[in-house]
């Protein structure tokens, strides 16, 4: 695999771990029921130990098909939505990716296996500190972290080949579009209500913006200057 994926995969896959079977079932469900096709995405989801990213008391539910509670009223996204959003970014291995709202860090771990460098922003420090420590202890090294308002992007590292926003906003922030490389993709839940959105992909082509929609979803609100008010 590209980008050291194979060696990382050796490091993270624990063939004997107690969760291998539920993790395999989760991946099969993503493939057969949800139609996730990108083998690199499926392989990353088979590799990352999701049970280590959810509250310990809920680890037995880590591979079920639903979102789980995180701290401060936030949620760990459903495996399907993680897989779908990642697939929509069309990562080949060499990209620089901006992730907004990294929460538990599970999505960050998946991205870190599939792209060259991840720039991850989370607005709640209490969540960010725990997740950063966990990702570092698990050996995910190609990630830079920041606590702050992700709707402003991360201008000094722009442009990005891909941007993933893991919280729902009223519209795609212009600031983020301004930080996309030509050919770059941004995937984000967008909706006029705070907890119900459409999954949107915006691609910056040579000739302008292309916007596509991929069905309904439900994310916690994107709170910030170019999102919802706190």
What residues numbered 75-94 form the site for ligand SAH, per CB under 6 A?
75-77
Tokens of 174: 């212009």
Which listed residue (7, 9, 59, 77) is catalytic?
A: 77
Cβ closest to ligand SAH, residue 123 vs residue 132: 123
Q: How far is the CB of 71 from ligand SAH (least distance, A)?
A: 8
Buried b (16+ CB within 10 A) or exposed e, 40-77: bbbbbbbbbbbbbbbeeeebeebbbeebbebeeebbbb
If residue 11 lies in a helix (H) or strand (E), which one and from where to where? Answer: helix 5-12
> Per CB under 6 A, which region of 37-45, 55-63, 68-76, 197-205 contacts ligand SAH?
68-76
Least CB distance to ligand SAH at residue 168 (A): 9
3-state secondary structure of 197: strand
**Would you call 196 a catalytic residue per the annotation?**
no
Site for ligand SAH in 7-46 (CB under 6 A): none
Supply the minimum distance, in Å, between the C-beta of residue 129 and ligand SAH.
12
Answer yes or no whether residue 149 interacts with ligand SAH by CB under 6 A: yes
Q: Which residues does 207 contact at the CB level (< 8 Å), separation at least 6?
A: none
- Per-residue tokens: 189: 């839940």
Strand, helix or coil at 200? strand
Residues contributing to the site for ligand SAH (CB under 6 A) = 70, 74-77, 100-104, 106-107, 121-124, 127, 149-151, 166-167, 220, 222-224, 227
């Amino acid at each position: 695999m590209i980008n050291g994926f194979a060696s990382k995969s050796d490091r993270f896959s624990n063939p004997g771990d107690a969760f291998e079977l539920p993790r395999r079932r989760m991946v099969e469900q993503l493939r057969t029921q949800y139609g996730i096709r990108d083998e690199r995405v499926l392989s990353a989801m088979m590799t990352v130990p999701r049970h280590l990213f959810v509250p310990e008391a809920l680890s037995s539910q880590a591979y079920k098909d639903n979102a789980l509670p995180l701290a401060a009223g936030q949620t760990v996204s459903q495996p399907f939505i993680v897989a779908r959003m990642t697939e929509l970014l069309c990562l080949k291995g060499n990209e620089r990716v901006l992730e907004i709202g990294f929460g538990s860090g599970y999505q960050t771990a998946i991205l870190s296996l599939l792209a060259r460098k991840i720039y991850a922003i989370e607005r709640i420090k209490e969540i960010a500190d725990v997740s950063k420590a966990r990702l570092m202890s698990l050996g995910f090294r190609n990630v830079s972290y920041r606590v702050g308002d992700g709707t402003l992007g991360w201008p000094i590292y722009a442009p990005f080949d891909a941007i993933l926003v893991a919280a729902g906003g009223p519209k795609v922030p212009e600031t983020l579009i301004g930080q996309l490389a030509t050919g770059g993709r941004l995937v984000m839940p967008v909706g006029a209500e705070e907890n119900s959105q459409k999954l949107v992909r915006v691609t910056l082509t040579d000739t302008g913006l292309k916007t596509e929609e991929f069905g309904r979803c439900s994310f916690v609100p994107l709170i910030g200057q170019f999102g919802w008010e706190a």
